[in-house]
Amino acid sequence: MKKELLRIKGLTIEFQGEISYPIIRNLDFSIWKGEKLSLVGESGCGKTITALSLMGLLPYAIKRKEGEILFHTAREVLPLHSFSPDSPEWLKVRGKEISMVFQEPSVSLNPTLTAGYQIAEPLIYRGCNRKDARDRALRIMEKVGLPHPADVYNRFPHELSGGMQQRVMLAMALILEPSLLIADEPTTALDVTIQAGILELIKELNEKMGMAFLLITHDLGVVNDVAEEMIVMYAGEILEQGKVKDLLKNPLQPYLKGLIASLPSLSGGKKKLESMQGSVPQPWERPVGCVFSPRCAYRMSICSRPPLWKEVENGHWVRCWLYE
């Protein structure tokens, strides 16, 4: 029986300024214990904002308007949406229950602290003595595949390669053994051969530690490699959700169809690339009705009204008028 870990209910996040506009609208999904979930979309779709809202790290002027984020710990249900960003209640969640790995490791590590100290810091902050913290940090460093942990512990981030820096980030995120890891484009800045190693590691951690992950990426190949479930986001809304295998074999929403068709295929002969016209709309010029309709090849007159969220096949949900 699968247990719910995190539930997002009708989450709307908006930019509040002289003019306000929603960045994410009416988001609804759950993350289950030990799940391998992936959030896919192009840049500007609201993937990162979704992740930051789960960590209570939304940037200034971007605020939750409505909706709930509920996190189930072993004992209680925490309403993350009601915590203010600097409230001490976040201590129970950030790092301990949910932790995050960011896109660019060279930017997210503190250049003035040694790699090892940054990994051990969450423990020291929570009152663990330095020696024990160091021992635990060394153990986790070994687990994430950093060579010679004792040596790397005393090195500064600039002395490490990109792949090693990302492993340090992972060790940092994992040291408190969270039940959910959010990885925001963890391999985009890395080379393919290094990427393969990091993805393999995330998969392994999920299987061995039973840690659920939410992998944010724009690369459908990466999704196919590591995730089991996927959510497709476009312009702040979820357009399609289901098992990775079903979605990639049989995409329903024209957006996902277009994304797949616009990837240059590796095996097989040369086929013509079908490119979608236009680009992702800015949040302040969101189309009415279906958000994808201005770029959609199958547009009908009904598309000016918002389509419903519908389960077309078992576990395969889509938001599109074609399937009404």
Q: Give the span between the Cα atoms of 50 and 6, in whole angstroms.
A: 13
CB of 218 to another protein, least distance (A): 6
Say how far apart CA 309 and CA 323 lie, in whole Å.
10
Residues in 65-104 at the binding interface with another protein, rule: CB under 8 A: none
Taking CB under 8 A as the rule, does residue 200 contact another protein? Answer: yes
Q: CB-wise, 147 or 210, nearer to another protein?
A: 147
Q: Give 131 or 270: the residue with its C-beta nearer to another protein.
A: 270
Q: Could you say whether residue 52 binds another protein (CB under 8 A)?
A: no
CB of 156 to another protein, least distance (A): 17
**152-161 burial by CB neighbour count: b if 16+ within 10 A, else e?**
bbeeebeebe
Asked if residues 283 and 15 have their Cβ atoms less than 8 Å apart, the reply is yes
Residue among 67, 116, 258, 283 that touches another protein (CB under 8 A): 258
Query: 217 exposed, middle or buried (CB, 10 Å; 0-12, 13-18, 19+)?
Result: buried
Q: Does 195 bind another protein (CB under 8 A)?
A: yes
- Can you read off the two tokens belonging to residue 174? 């994992």
Q: Does 43 sit near another protein (CB under 8 A)?
A: yes
Pattern 119-148, binding to another protein, x per CB under 8 A?
----------------------------x-
The residue within the footprint of another protein, chosen from 192, 208, 301, 324 (CB under 8 A), is 192
Instruction: Kindly state the smallest distance separating residue 148's Cβ from another protein, in Å.
Output: 12
Between 120 and 198, CB nearer to another protein: 198
Task: Please say which residue, 131 or 158, places its beta carbon nearer to another protein.
Answer: 158
CA distance 165 to 110: 11
Q: Which of 102, 114, 178, 174 is nearest to 142 (CA)?
A: 174
Residues 292-311 contacting another protein, CB under 8 A: none
Encoded one letter per residue, x for contact with another protein by CB under 8 A and - for no contact, window 212-231 reads ------xxxxxxxx------
Span from 77-85, 103-111, 158-166, 172-180 in contact with another protein (CB under 8 A): 158-166
**Sign of the CA dihedral with 242 first, then 243, 248, and 249 last:** negative
Out of 266, 301, 314, 324, the residue judged to bind another protein by CB under 8 A: 266
Site for another protein (CB under 8 A): which residue of 69, 120, 259, 320?
259
Stretch that binds another protein, among 69-77, 103-111, 127-135, 187-195 (CB under 8 A): 187-195
How far is residue 79's CA from residue 260's CA, in Å, rounded to a whole number? Answer: 37
Measured distance CA(200)–CA(268) in Å, rounded: 26
Closer residue to another protein, CB minimum distance, 222 or 290: 222
Q: Which residues bind another protein (CB under 8 A)?
A: 42-43, 147, 161, 163-164, 191-197, 199-200, 218-225, 248, 258-267, 270, 272-277, 279-280
